[in-house]
Amino acid sequence: MPYETIIVETRERVGLITLNRPKALNALNSELMGELTAALQAFDADDKVGCIVITGSEKAFAAGADIKEMQSKTYMDAYKGDFLTSWDRVTQTRKPILAAVAGYALGGGCELAMMCDIAIAATNARFGQPEITLGVMPGAGGTQRLTRFVGKAKAMDMVLTGRMMDAEEAERSGLVSRVVEPDALLDTALSMAGKIADFSLPIVMLAKESVNRAYETTLAEGTRFERRLFQSMFATDDQKEGMEAFVEKRTPNFTHK
């Protein structure tokens, strides 16, 4: 299927999605979100892909939901059309998704980065939830995920003042895992994703599910869930291969990719 607002390619076992509405700083309109979720579903179903990277341009990962598309919506449009619910499909992707963020990640752009499993930032990245300046508040997880990731103090600061966080603060606050120079961003993201894609895919998916469970449940339930998943891994060929390879001092050759 040809896409108009994203570029979709495969680099070895990594599915790469580049948001591509440069004139609107990758503002996330319904067409782009429809294409993005379709591409994610296609990669999820593709046995040749083990990990997914979402990136934007050097100037903008995404400068938010498309304000021009939203501005004249009525409450009935938003409610009856169940505005934003389709974004949940990003988090329903079972393979890991890495966000490689350069430039602006604002509003829905910051929320999209937070829906990914790992976010890495270029030194010029700027994260923010400026919805308050538009007379609204974050609507795609910003008040929830940001608060869980960076804590109440910084989340309130960002959501209520609309200020931006630079890459260094984002790393210090736990919003991103690494910061690299802009020209190293894509290579770093592809190399991290390539490494993940070389592991056993079912084990990677179970590990992703287990970490995400930490945000959904209590510590006791989460550790019980983790233990059950861990025990189930002894039913896989890849556990046998991984441990056997360690003992035999060789590189494992996982069956399930």
H or E stretch at 91: helix 88-91
Residue 106-135 contact track with ligand CO8, rule CB under 6 A, x = bound: xxx--x------------------xx--x-
Question: Closer CB to ligand CO8, residue 56 or residue 130?
Answer: 130
- Given 50, 108, 109, 128, which residue is catalytic? 108
Among 61, 104, 199, 254, binds ligand CO8 (CB under 6 A): 104
Question: Closer CB to ligand CO8, residue 95 or residue 126?
Answer: 126
- Of 133, 53, 143, the closest CA to residue 93 belongs to 53
Q: How far is CA 62 from the centre of its chain?
A: 13
Question: Closer CB to ligand CO8, residue 106 or residue 189?
Answer: 106
- Given 65, 102, 122, 170, which residue is catalytic? 65
- Residue-wise DSSP of 155-170: HHHHHHH--EEEHHHH
Shortest distance, CB of residue 43 to ligand CO8, whole angstroms? 21
**171 touches ligand CO8 by CB under 6 A:** no
Among 51, 54, 65, 118, binds ligand CO8 (CB under 6 A): 65
Stretch that binds ligand CO8, among 23-31, 44-52, 175-183, 245-253 (CB under 6 A): 23-31
The structure tokens listed for 101 are 């963020």
Among 68, 80, 249, 250, binds ligand CO8 (CB under 6 A): 68
Stretch that binds ligand CO8, among 137-145, 174-182, 185-193, 205-213 (CB under 6 A): 137-145
Question: Closer CB to ligand CO8, residue 139 or residue 222?
Answer: 139
**67 touches ligand CO8 by CB under 6 A:** yes
Measured between alpha carbons, how far is residue 157 from residues 107, 110, 123, 145, 153 in Å?
14, 15, 22, 14, 6
Question: Rounded to an integer, what distance in angstroms lies between the CA atom of residue 156 and that of residue 175?
Answer: 15
The residue of the chain with the least Cβ separation from ligand CO8 equals 107
Residue 104, SS3? strand
Asked about 248 being catalytic, the answer comes back as: no
219-244: b (≥16 Cβ within 10 Å) or e: eeebeebbeeeeeeeeebebbebbee
Kindly tell me the burial class for residue 119, based on how many C-beta atoms sit within 10 Å of its own C-beta (0-12, 13-18, 19 or more): buried
Question: Closer CB to ligand CO8, residue 61 or residue 254?
Answer: 61
Residue 21, SS3? coil
Asked about 111 being catalytic, the answer comes back as: yes
Q: Which sign does the torsion angle of CA 209, 12, 186, 104 carry?
A: negative
Annotated catalytic residues are 65, 108, 111, 131
Q: Kindly list the residues in this chain that would bind ligand CO8 in the complex (CB under 6 A).
A: 24-25, 27-28, 63-68, 84, 104, 106-108, 111, 130-131, 134, 138-140
